[in-house]
Amino acid sequence: MSDADKDFPLPEQSNMMREMAQDMNVALYRRYGEEAAAKLLSLTVEQLNALRAQGQIGYLDLSDDQIGYFGCQLLTYLLGCVVPPGLAPSAKPVAAPQSSKPAVTVDAELISVDDAIVRLGIGKTKFYDLMKTKELPCVKIGRRTLIKRDELRKYIDKQIA
């Protein structure tokens, strides 16, 4: 139990999450798409993708290009944002439990489409246009589409020049 929990006792998180789910009309184990999840959290899809890329919110990796969220993952993130009275907000919210999917490391040679989109700060439509026109070459491994880190760097450098 942390010092904050001693100063501000909360009901068990599971009870609090059930109450939040009922009050917010969120099904704990329903899958929410990116747009619905962002709306529920009062964020843009880009902000939600940034939280996911930073490991601050759990998610479902459904396929090549689809990300989803269970209601319980969204509410866990919200619970991590709760600041008890008398405490200053932290610089960043408490991270939600991580998925079992390994995080992309700085030296990983291939990165996911979603990570590339976040790094470029563009939307999916623009990204897929870049793939289609071969401006940003991609690699298929099974069902996954990945981007070579050096190809992403070359594309960024070309845009800056």
- Looking at residue 1, what is its pLDDT? 41
Last residue of a domain, one of 30, 59, 80: 80
Residues 26, 67 within the same domain: yes
Angle between helices 149-160 and 113-120 (to 10 degrees): 20
Q: What is the mean pLDDT of the chain?
A: 77
Higher-pLDDT residue of 114 and 63 is 114
pLDDT tens figures, 71-91: 888 888 887 777 777 776 665
Between 89 and 157, where is the model more confident?
Answer: 157
pLDDT tens track for 22-39 = 888 888 888 888 888 988
pLDDT at 103 over 50: no
The pLDDT of residue 105: 42
**Given this model, what pLDDT does residue 133 score?**
93
If asked whether residues 12 and 69 sit together in one domain, one would say yes
Is the same domain home to 7 and 76?
yes
Q: Indicate whether 41 belongs to any domain.
A: yes
**Res. 100: pLDDT tops 60:** no
Q: What is the pLDDT of residues 120-140, one digit of tens each?
A: 888 888 888 999 999 999 998
Question: Is residue 99 included in any domain, yes or no?
Answer: no
Residue 92 within a domain: no
Beta bridge partners of 32: 69
68 shares a domain with 16? yes
Domain count within the chain = 2
Instruction: Give yes or no: residues 26 and 75 share one domain.
Output: yes
CA distance 125 to 123: 6
Residue 8 structural domain: 3-80
3 state SS of 107: coil
Assess whether pLDDT exceeds 70 at residue 3. Answer: no
Q: Is residue 38 part of a domain?
A: yes
Query: How much of the chain, in percent, has pLDDT values that exceed 90?
Result: 5
| Residues 64 and 130 grouped into a single domain | no
Backbone torsion region of residue 96, taken as left when φ is above 0, otherwise alpha when ψ lies between -120 and 50, otherwise beta: beta
Of the listed ranges 12-21, 23-32, 35-44, the one predicted with least confidence:
12-21
